Amino acid sequence: MTETTRIADQLRRSYRGIAWHGPSLKEALDGVTPELAEHRAAPGLHTIWELVVHVANWADAARRFVVENHYVSLSGTDDWPPPSGSWPAALEKLASAQRELWTHVKTLPDERLNDIISAEKNYSVYILLHGVVQHNLYHAGQISLLKKMVNECISP
């Protein structure tokens, strides 16, 4: 098995399991309704919907670098766009971005893992891809906590 195949597997597991640490991103999102997704648990906290769009955008940014060798560091509304459209469409955007990323990564030559993405930050494709795994899991944890908080707020 190549290193890129292993990384693609970790990307897939961080999105839809089976992960040893606990729930994957998709598992954390199970049962989240549009009402739950858009509810802000406390001032200054992101909603689950905002987190879903944010994670999808970063997976797509990583895919663009892998496929097009074009890296864009997201900021402002590219990083945290306001939710729009429907909740099912947001979930599909996330699923599609994740699927496309791991599909391209598993065919990536291992040599590309050493390509430097940002001379300014001095990190490689290897670090970017592991960062996406970590990013997925970090936000899966946030979503799990927000689900509990929001359920307490909106359930009688």
Provide the pLDDT for residue 81: 92
Question: For tokens 């891809």, what's the residue?
Answer: 129
Q: How many domains does the chain have?
A: 1
CB 113 within 8 A of CB 126: yes
Which CATH number does the domain housing residue 13 bear?
A: 1.20.120.450
Provide the pLDDT for residue 36: 94
Provide the pLDDT for residue 10: 95
What is the distance, to the nearest Å, from the Cα of residue 48 to the centroid of all Cα atoms in its chain? 12
**pTM given for the model:** 0.93
Q: What is the CA radius of gyration of the chain?
A: 16
pLDDT by residue for the chain (156 residues), tens only, comes to: 899 999 999 999 999 988 777 899 999 999 999 999 999 988 999 999 999 999 999 999 999 999 988 888 889 998 999 999 999 999 999 999 999 999 999 999 999 999 988 777 788 999 999 999 999 999 999 999 999 888 777 765
How far is the C-alpha of 39 from the C-alpha of 153, rounded, in Å?
A: 9
Question: Residue 34 burial (CB < 10 Å; 0-12/13-18/19+)?
Answer: middle
CB 72 within 8 A of CB 118: no
Tokens of 117: 């993405």
> Which domain range does residue 118 map to?
3-154
